[in-house]
Structure 1
Amino acid sequence: MSRVFHRHLKASYPTAVAGDGPYLIDAAGKRYLDACGGAAVSCLGHSDPEVQAAISEQVKRMAYAHSSFFTSEPMEALADFLVDRAPQGIGSVYFVSGGSEAVEAALKMARQYFLEIGQTERTQVIARRQSYHGNTLGALATGGNAWRRRPFEPLLADTTHVSPCYAYRGQRADESAEAYGERLAVELEDTIERLGPRRVMAFVAEPVVGATLGAVPAVPGYFRRVREICDRHGILLILDEVMCGMGRTGRLFACEQEGVSPDLLTVAKGLGGGYQPIGATLASARIRDTIAEGTGFFQHGHTYIGHATACAAALAVQRA
């Protein structure tokens, strides 16, 4: 019996021993076409030589340095690469080890931003039903998938969920796509008014919903209306591109095709292509400058944030 606490303890897993392009190979030599790239991760396949070389070279020089005391060349270079290509207003990047951590960091960064500007009453988060934002407690609370939430409901922070933008199920036969999007925008604004506009901290959404709806984009104009509503009430817009970002929609960031810029943007999966565990929270210059000019210290962190080898791998993936 394996001593690994596997994801499913009643399953029997083949042992993966090698990767060859889009294939994984088990100990018996059987080849598996990794058609979904793991969990939508392995966008370059499993044996890209340039990424392998970048990891090897970085490990030879320096595998890891704690970000409380040092920065590193690959972390700075990856941040420059992302910010140079990010939506307007994004000014800096906070590196983590995966998508759930990126969402946790975004939520805490949003809260600290409001503490820094003296709006301490802003604690409420609005997200959408049938969304998925990760499995750590803050991310799980934000997500709107009932099955994932149910066992841990007593541990979760209170989050308000509104309707997803899911035209296949939600759009009425007698309304246009634009009218459907406007109806959802009105629902969001009504929810903000009910909670109290000065109490709402952030609205969180995936530009393309992945894990819970299956590659579902919003109707035209929906996110522009959401951006307008958030701006009118001083609410931060957090867009979760952990699954749909990093080129998966044809642009590096999915929200570019929606014509909006978020205040906080989360990425992972395709950022490192599976070669190293990495995720990131991209923050607007306004949020970064507010904290920098206030306490100057983001009260959050993990041991492996900004891991030099992970950043070197991710930079090689992005250059490819």
Structure 2
Amino acid sequence: MQNTSRLEAVISRRPTGDQEVPALGSSLQPSAVFHRQLRLNFPAIVRGEGSYLVLNDGRRILDASGGAAVACIGHGDARVAEAVMAQMRSVAYCATIFYTSTACEQLCRYLVDSTGGHMARAYIVCSGSEAMEAAMKLARQYFLEKAPHPEPRRTRFIARSQSYHGITLGALAAGGHEARRQYFEPLMPTNVSHVSPCFSYRGKAAQESDAAYVARLAAELDAEFQRVGPDTVCAFIAEPIVGAALGSVPSVPGYFRAVQAVCRKYGALLIFDEVMCGMGRAGTVHAWQQEGVVPDIQTIGKCLGGGYQPIAGVLASHNVIDTLSRGTGSFVHGHTYQGHPVGCAAALAVQRIIAEENLLANVRELGPVLADLLAQRLGDHPNVGNIRGRGFFWGIEFVQDKNSARPFPVEDHVAMKIAELGLSSADYAIAVYPGSGTVDGRSGDHIILAPAYNATRAEIHTIVDRVARLVEGYFAAKTDDRPEQAKL
């Protein structure tokens, strides 16, 4: 009875509509949420309006990153809300061990068709980490069922350092981001090894051509196959455009054709992680459609549902699906909420809006505008080392010294402090996505810009203006805060 009374008391205080939510920590009781940071008081969002978020204290924040490159059609689109409610009124949950749903069937058909016939089936889950776990297990099962000669020795994966593929243990093992891995190394699988990323700003020699750089990286991958045993590797895992770990880093031309050739040479699969860079973020539905290669397995996520519901997925090629179909006919994997009808309905509505409003054409048209404006405003800034990206997915890397590309000390937390300043100061009122460990998994700072696909030309100009002023303002204050001797 006491617990019921407490629940009723909480419910009676909950906000409705546009009612303001008390700032966390502002009441007598502390937050009950296990936040990412336990010592911070987070502002609450009361509503979203297109490219803007409205906070409980009345601030309007220009969401220049869509959170973690998620909000691809902006916030508060009533059409998606209506699609979600219609699905909930119809049926909210589908136990996929027994049934399918129209929403899931339609979404998967769209996804398969969007690959131009290259992929055969789609598997819908709730997060990018879940998708990567499924992709790795699918690759392993493929080799167990490969007829007429199964390959049970294939238990290993090769990925790249300075990558991030998810936070669950298998996905974390695939990633090479040292700071995210460090606490959990003893718990992680040890069947993943890492090679260098394709990161021309920091990895390519001064006089090295793109072709020579690609050849060197392909040779490194080939040598890693040889080192671990080429008949033990299930797949090579890579992001076509590296997101959180490096800050929107595309590969140099020809890189993925070269690594695919290495995989084919040794009979391994190629897995593309497009959770962050895919579903239109780069200007095409799939980022690999600009690379001249097709993966065997692909993960998708953030811009699949645009944040309106938690949803991600795996796409599998005809070769992979046919192998399982001729074998056991099943995937030994499953989730309670896989293929969730409400998530599928939301994603289907988001993808229909993108298609019907031709928003990827907008990304392709305004992506170069975003790039040019960033170069004009920040290209010469002494603490901006590199600006890189594609489509509506751009990263800005910060350095202490432009000539040497020396990063700031880890303890300075430059990217995070820039992001916090953007939110806290009314002079900027802009959200950017911070990242650290850009150089070696620990040191190095960058921010990511990932506007909504329906952002206007005027909004792109506003984003660049606010970001440029934010960067200039942060480093001006940082310089003023240095001891007098350090300024000399």
TM-score (norm: length of structure 2): 0.65
Gaps of 5+ in 1: none
Distance 1:114 1:270 in 2: 31
Counterparts in 2 of 1:1-320, with a 5 A limit?
1-86=30-115, 88-117=117-146, 118-158=150-190, 159-320=192-353
Assess if the C-alpha contact under 8 Å between 1:87 and 1:261 holds in 2: no
Assess if the C-alpha contact under 8 Å between 1:209 and 1:217 holds in 2: yes
Q: Which moves more between the two structures, 82-91 or 13-22?
A: 82-91
Distance 1:103 1:25 in 2: 33
Cα deviation for residue 198 of structure 1 reads: 0.5
Distance 1:84 1:21 in 2: 29
Cα deviation for residue 140 of structure 1 reads: 0.2
Amino acid in the other structure paired with 1:16 = I
Cα deviation for residue 175 of structure 1 reads: 1.4
Cα deviation for residue 27 of structure 1 reads: 2.5
Distance 2:331 2:67 in 1: 33
Q: Which moves more between the two structures, 130-139 or 19-28?
A: 19-28
Cα deviation for residue 276 of structure 1 reads: 0.3
Alpha-carbon displacement from aligned partner over 1:53-109 (angstroms, at most 9, x marks no partner): 111111111111111111110101011111111155311001000111110000000
Task: Indicate the SS of the match to 1:313.
Answer: helix
Distance 1:41 1:26 in 2: 19
Distance 2:117 2:266 in 1: 20
- Of structures 1 and 2, the one with the larger relative CO (CA 8 A, separation 6+) is 1
Distance 1:277 1:87 in 2: 26
The 1:191–1:87 alpha-carbon spacing in structure 2 relative to 1, beyond 3 Å, is farther
Alpha-carbon displacement from aligned partner over 1:41-61 (angstroms, at most 9, x marks no partner): 011111112211111111111
Task: Indicate the SS of the match to 2:272.
Answer: strand
Alpha-carbon displacement from aligned partner over 1:1-37 (angstroms, at most 9, x marks no partner): 1111111101101121211111222223322222110
Distance 2:339 2:163 in 1: 27
Runs of 4+ in 1 over 4 A off after TM superposition: none
Amino acid in the other structure paired with 2:207 = D
Cα deviation for residue 200 of structure 1 reads: 0.7
Assess if the C-alpha contact under 8 Å between 1:88 and 1:261 holds in 2: no
Amino acid in the other structure paired with 1:152 = F
Alpha-carbon displacement from aligned partner over 1:130-161 (angstroms, at most 9, x marks no partner): 00101000000000101101100001112110
- Name which one, 1 or 2, has greater alpha-carbon Rg: 2
Assess if the C-alpha contact under 8 Å between 1:243 and 1:267 holds in 2: yes
Distance 1:196 1:27 in 2: 57
Amino acid in the other structure paired with 1:256 = Q
Task: Indicate the SS of the match to 1:95.
Answer: strand
Distance 2:222 2:270 in 1: 14
Alpha-carbon displacement from aligned partner over 1:207-231 (angstroms, at most 9, x marks no partner): 0001011111111001001111111
Number of equivalenced pairs: 320
Identity, % of aligned pairs? 56
Distance 2:215 2:273 in 1: 21
Distance 2:295 2:171 in 1: 18
Assess if the C-alpha contact under 8 Å between 1:78 and 1:315 holds in 2: yes
Aligned-CA RMSD value: 1.0
Alpha-carbon displacement from aligned partner over 1:106-135 (angstroms, at most 9, x marks no partner): 000001111112210001100000001010
Amino acid in the other structure paired with 1:201 = C
Cα deviation for residue 274 of structure 1 reads: 0.2
Gaps of 5+ in 2: 1-29, 354-488
Distance 2:271 2:62 in 1: 34
Cα deviation for residue 280 of structure 1 reads: 0.4
Q: Which moves more between the two structures, 207-216 or 292-301?
A: 292-301
Amino acid in the other structure paired with 1:281 = V
Task: Indicate the SS of the match to 1:190.
Answer: helix
Amino acid in the other structure paired with 1:141 = A
Amino acid in the other structure paired with 2:344 = C
Distance 1:145 1:40 in 2: 19
Amino acid in the other structure paired with 2:164 = Y
